[in-house]
Amino acid sequence: MRNIQFLIFFSVVITIYSLLNYYIYSKGLWAFPSGTPGRIWFKILFVFLSASYIIARILERVWISPVSDVFTWIGSFWLGAFFYFLLMVLAVDIIRLINLVIPVIPEFLKTREGISIVFWTAVGVVSVVLIAGHINARHPRVKTLELHVNKKVEGMQELTIAFASDIHLGTLVGPRRTKQLMDKLNNLHADIILLGGDIVDEDLGPVIRNNLGGGLARLTAPLGVYGITGNHEYIGGAEESVRYLSEHGITMIRDTFVSVDRKFYIVGREDRDSPRFGGVGRKKVEEVMRGVDTNKPVILLDHQPFDLNEKARLGVDLTLSGHTHHGQMWPLNYITKAIFEVSWGYKIKGNTHVYVSSGAGGWGPPVRIGNRPEIVLIRISLKQS
């Protein structure tokens, strides 16, 4: 049944993706007169680019190799270009509709030369945006958060946490970027390192092939390194991913809690999509919290930032999430803001501190537009008397 559902979902996505690509393609053809070499090359290049991501996903399941890597990189960049070209052609068609009522388009832009200028300007703008977005994506910042928890812990005045979510280890976040991110986390010299899900990017094959677990195994903190599942662990196969992560030094917390040094608690939830992609249910927050002494500090990891009121009611002191990427590419952040109470950043609900990270890595296009990738250093001061 699940395989049939996946095939239906995959078929619908591919159909919509193909139709939208054809929409962009049909507009691009305007810049190339019939019978010209440019028109032929445009057709070949467009088909190659638009098919690359689909080819890459198929290859990664049957033949992980440098060839699949090339298609993944080309196809992923095309997803970014596809998105912004789509916005542009939609804007052009809206202007053309307005022009039917109120003439706003100069006559020059209706000529073959004018159409060509518009085409190459669009290509140039999208290229610059993708290059800038890629540079941005490769340079995560360290965000520092200063919080106070009004609970006393014997022998502890402050707790420092290095938090990263949505790393998406795989072909695009390979050995070099993995080393960069692990070095950043270690160099914060935090008491504890927490990973908020989507540690791997669906398919575990490229992670194993590139030995990215070796980078994870370098993470070290006095009180340990803990992680939870995200939706991408479940899309690619949660049990295999969790086993791999555990073998490389990450203590995975799955719908349970850990008492750290008998001083505070880390509560970890299974991802919200575990029933859909893994066929397994997950406990409610209240069930997971049973047995937790809320007189001690409680830090809850939940990949997707839902149930904030419930967490506050149950006495959670700090809840950490990711998942949203804050849209990753403008203007998608407006959509994530509409879906989530907190799309990115800090909020306090009662006595509960909420932080949703924009993520350290990314999914799909290896670009970030309109926001920065981040690792979060959290300093929690505790009650002293």
| pLDDT single digits (tens) 192-242 | 999 999 999 988 999 999 999 999 999 999 999 999 999 999 988 899 999
Who contacts 225 (Cβ-Cβ below 8 Å, separation ≥6)?
A: 192, 193, 194, 195, 219, 249, 250, 251
The least confident of 132-136, 198-202, 246-250, 263-267 is: 198-202
pLDDT(263) > 60: yes
Who contacts 157 (Cβ-Cβ below 8 Å, separation ≥6)?
A: 381, 382, 384
Question: Percentage of the chain with pLDDT > 90?
Answer: 85
CB 314 within 8 A of CB 304: no
* 276 — pLDDT class (breaks 50, 70, 90): confident
Question: Which token pair is 332?
Answer: 């998608």
SS3 257: strand
* 37 — pLDDT class (breaks 50, 70, 90): very high
pLDDT(189) > 90: yes
* 5 — pLDDT class (breaks 50, 70, 90): low
Determine the average pLDDT of the residues in 278-305: 93
Of 301, 371, 294, which is closest to residue 336 (Cα–Cα)? 371
* 166 — pLDDT class (breaks 50, 70, 90): very high
* 117 — pLDDT class (breaks 50, 70, 90): very high
* 6 — pLDDT class (breaks 50, 70, 90): low
Neighbouring C-alpha atoms within 13 Å toward the C-beta of 30: 19
CA–CA dist 61, 54 (Å, integer): 11
pLDDT of residue 247: 97
**Each residue of 175-197: b (16+ CB within 10 Å) or e?**
eebbebbbebbeebebbbbbbbb
At position 125, the amino acid (one-letter code) is V
pLDDT of residue 228: 98
Provide the whole-model pTM.
Answer: 0.93
Q: What is the pLDDT of residues 47-102, one digit of tens each?
A: 999 999 999 988 988 888 999 999 999 999 999 999 999 999 999 999 999 999 99
Question: Which token pair is 361?
Answer: 């890595």
Determine the average pLDDT of the residues in 298-314: 96
Phi first, then psi, for residue 22 (nearest 5°) are -65, -35
